[in-house]
Amino acid sequence: MAFNTDLFNNLSEEERKVALDILKQVAEKGSSEVLDELNYGDFDEIPVDIETFMHDPMYLGKALYDSEGRFTVFPYWEEKLKEIFPTNVTTAYNNIVFTGAIGLGKSTIAVICLLYMLYRLLCLKDPYLYYGMQPIDKISISMMNITLDNAKGVALDKMNQMILSSAWFMQHGEMGGSTNLIFRPEKHIELIVASSNNQIIGRALFANFTDEVNFSLVSNPEKQKKKMMKLITQIDARMKSRFLRGTYLPTLNIIASSKDTEQSFLEAYIENKKATESKNTLIVDEPQWVVDPRKDSDRKFYVAVGNKFLANELLPLDTTEETAGQFRAKGYDVWQVPIGYLDTFQQNLDEAICSIIGIATASSLKYISGIKLNATKTDLYENPFTKDVIEVGNLPDDHLQYANFFDLTKINPSDISRPLFIHLDMSLSGDKTGIAGVWITGREVNTKLLQNSNDKTVLDTEDSIARDLHYKVAFSVSIKAPKGAQVSFAKNRNFIRWLREQGFAIKGISSDTFQSATIQQELKSDGFKTEILSVDRLVRDPLSGKFICPPYRYLQAAINEGHITIYEKCELLTKELTELERKSDGHIDHPDKGSKDQADAVCGALYLASKYAEEFSYSYGDAIEASLAVSTDQSGKFDRHQMIVDFQSELAKAYKDIYNELDETNDIFIGEPMDNSAGFLSDLADISDGIIAF
């Protein structure tokens, strides 16, 4: 050990004399009675180290050895506990998160930690005097969970069994309670179980264990998750307020959580601890075979763990390290898994990755698959908005319009005449307003189904011949109000008017319920078809009985089945879609500090378009090829089908649109009733007669 001259020089004369005596005794005997007196003068008995505490029958030895005399704690955990408690009176960490794979004994290790913390408290002559506290503070060791019944579950039972088998603990307290046993230590220290902040008010929490929370067993899971996250944060704050002295904090807060979707609420807590208190926080995150060496083997197979844009893959048994390296280069996290797990990974790859390796993959957590989303993207066109987020507001000197950020040269002229549906996800300030447009591009023949099907019954079914309706995202943007301003509803309306002036065939406009009445009325007065549409509304699924969100269910299906096309460059939209999570109550929402303004807008526009699917299934001419393809003999696999493209009806609608637009400009047709269009329409009858496929 190096001699710290600066520290020595800062000591008083009396302190220097003591320090020199200690150094002399250590040099001569290897130990110092003076140092022991300083370290242990406040103890009734000197605590044993953590290794002795686990093995000695006086403490936990009887509980941790089986009937055949084998120590039941894995060597991995024994080493980890020695890291947590490096000496018999010190603790290296204040926060510990036991996570990773299932079946690792996380709860057992957490209970051992709590009991060692309790043991060292009971070894003190006066714990309250030692930590500078009053007896009314009530030094407590707690076990937390979302409900009291859960808190009284597995962890408390394990603790009781260990205490009952320990002669030392039974000499320093008694087991009490009639229905739910709980140990009552001496020296005014208590063990408690709790599920809310109210149950720990007035107590000085010295150690805490928050066990795994099963939200599927409680009502309103989303509310309960927020409650648990708040409780964990409050425990941290209570420990610091009572025990922090300078930079020293002797307390220990433990959380045990396996990697599954129900525990994802702790990810933010873990990341925050890593960023702000990394030296005082221990994260234990290991696969099964690392903790339990009995499950390891020399022979292994490769598993490529992807992300929200890369599907997990079980690689062939003959995969070489060179091939594995190629997967790493693509962005995969490649694991070598012991061969004994092969069957489990073959049966359910995603679940095995989560439960055995301890990685909650994106596919198990997110509502929209990034892999499926990427498959819908194309570089053949771009979002005409030059920015993902534009700052435009209602300040008097803010003369910007959304059109200033809209590049018409990025619009294919053939797309302008397509039926366009627009959704506005409204806001004033704070959240952004999302606006998106979706075209109906017609029905596409599922040639793969036609070529592969040998079932004439299927082929005779019109839906199975799969003239699948297809959509195309026209644009998407988020509008953010500048500081001190609000999003301008007038500019929302101006933008839609401007689109019509550029020739876009706007067939419907929807907005959510937030302050939509005014803009709905104004757009109706402009001649637009409008409606209220909330993408967050829930309905009960008659099959499952669960609540679902129909607009987002439709978007998910369109992406999964490839019925929608999206421009490749859309970073914010991609981020929002791939971060969406289905909450336990059925709602689709973004994670904390996330957003879904553009996602809502695209979802709303798509769902609105789907409601007019039959009316606008075929555009002018661009669906003729699809119509003919449907009516063509596919090598005798299905009978020819007749399809009539009703151009007469479509042209009638076009005539009415033209008439109404000209009527507004007072150029021609003033005073002509719409019924007089009959003569014009009859002249078009011959045209539609020629567009019948046999």
pLDDT of 272: 73
The segment with the largest mean pLDDT, out of 207-216, 240-249, 273-282, 623-632, is 240-249
Q: Are 363 and 369 in contact (CB under 8 A)?
A: yes
Identify each DSSP E strand in 168-299 by its residue range: 173-176, 182-185, 190-194, 204-210, 252-256, 281-286
Q: What number is the average pLDDT over the span 278-302?
A: 93
> Does 638 have pLDDT greater than 50?
no
Reported confidence tier of residue 187, pLDDT bands at 50, 70, 90 = very high
C-alpha to C-alpha distance for 90 and 85, rounded to whole angstroms: 6
Chain Cα centroid distance, residue 50: 38
pLDDT of 687: 38
Q: What number is the average pLDDT over the span 247-255?
A: 92
Share of the chain above pLDDT 70, in %: 77
277, burial (CB in 10 Å: exposed 0-12, middle 13-18, buried 19+): middle
Q: Are 101 and 286 in contact (CB under 8 A)?
A: yes
Helices (H), 508-614: 517-525, 550-560, 571-579, 597-611
Higher-pLDDT residue of 445, 236: 236
pLDDT of 373: 93
Give the number of other Cβ atoms within 10 Å of residue 186's Cβ: 10
HSE-up of 133 (CA within 13 Å, CB side)? 24
Q: Which tens digits make up the pLDDT trace of 347-389? A: 989 889 988 998 876 555 578 888 899 999 999 999 999 999 9
252, burial (CB in 10 Å: exposed 0-12, middle 13-18, buried 19+): buried
Q: Are 652 and 615 in contact (CB under 8 A)?
A: no
pLDDT of 649: 47
pLDDT of 686: 40
Q: Which tens digits make up the pLDDT trace of 560-612? A: 899 999 999 999 999 999 989 887 678 898 877 789 999 999 999 999 999 98
pLDDT of 461: 43
Chain Cα centroid distance, residue 103: 24
pLDDT of 246: 83
Q: Which tens digits make up the pLDDT trace of 627-636? A: 444 344 433 3
Reported confidence tier of residue 498, pLDDT bands at 50, 70, 90 = very high
Among 442-446, 470-474, 478-482, name the one with the lowest average pLDDT.
442-446
State the helix-helix crossing angle for 517-525 and 489-501, rounded to 10 degrees: 30
Reported confidence tier of residue 44, pLDDT bands at 50, 70, 90 = very high
Reported confidence tier of residue 508, pLDDT bands at 50, 70, 90 = very high
Reported confidence tier of residue 645, pLDDT bands at 50, 70, 90 = very low
> Does 651 have pLDDT greater than 60?
no
Q: What number is the average pLDDT over the span 461-485?
A: 79
Chain Cα centroid distance, residue 174: 45
- Residues linked to residue 283 through DSSP beta bridges, in sequence order: 97
SS3 for 474?
strand
Q: Which domains does the chain have, with CATH numbers?
A: 1-40 (no CATH), 42-289 (3.40.50), 297-358 (no CATH), 378-534+595-611 (no CATH), 646-693 (no CATH)
Give the number of other Cβ atoms within 10 Å of residue 229's Cβ: 15
The segment with the largest mean pLDDT, out of 24-28, 131-135, 616-620, is 131-135
Give the number of other Cβ atoms within 10 Å of residue 394's Cβ: 16
Reported confidence tier of residue 8, pLDDT bands at 50, 70, 90 = low
Helices (H), 68-142: 75-84, 106-123, 127-130
C-alpha to C-alpha distance for 111 and 114, rounded to whole angstroms: 5
> Does 346 have pLDDT greater than 50?
yes
Q: Smallest Cα–Cα separation from 119: which of 38, 209, 43, 180?
A: 43
> Does 665 have pLDDT greater than 60?
no
Q: Which tens digits make up the pLDDT trace of 509-549? A: 999 876 677 888 899 999 999 999 999 889 988 877 888 89
Helix %, strand %, coil % of the chain (to 5): 45, 20, 35
Backbone angles phi, psi at 494, to 5 degrees: -60, -40
Tokens of 132: 């500078």
Backbone angles phi, psi at 439, to 5 degrees: -95, 145
C-alpha to C-alpha distance for 88 and 46, rounded to whole angstroms: 8
C-alpha to C-alpha distance for 194 and 212, rounded to whole angstroms: 14
pLDDT of 309: 83
Residue with tokens 């996290």: 333
DSSP track, 21-54:
HHHHHHHHHSS-HHHHHHHHTTBSSPPPPHHHHH
For 282-320, b/e burial (b = at least 16 CB within 10 A) is: bbbebbbbbbbeeeeeeebbbbbbbbbebbbebbeeebe
**Rounded mean pLDDT of the chain?**
81
pLDDT of 259: 67
C-alpha to C-alpha distance for 353 and 363, rounded to whole angstroms: 11
Give the H or E element holding residue 301: strand 300-305
Tokens of 185: 């230590």
Q: Are 303 and 315 in contact (CB under 8 A)?
A: yes
Identity (one letter) of the amino acid at 568? Answer: E
Higher-pLDDT residue of 37, 258: 258
Q: Are 566 and 574 in contact (CB under 8 A)?
A: no
Reported confidence tier of residue 33, pLDDT bands at 50, 70, 90 = low
pLDDT of 646: 42
- Residues linked to residue 285 through DSSP beta bridges, in sequence order: 99
Q: What is the pairing mode between strands 539-540 and 252-256?
A: unpaired
Tokens of 39: 């370290």
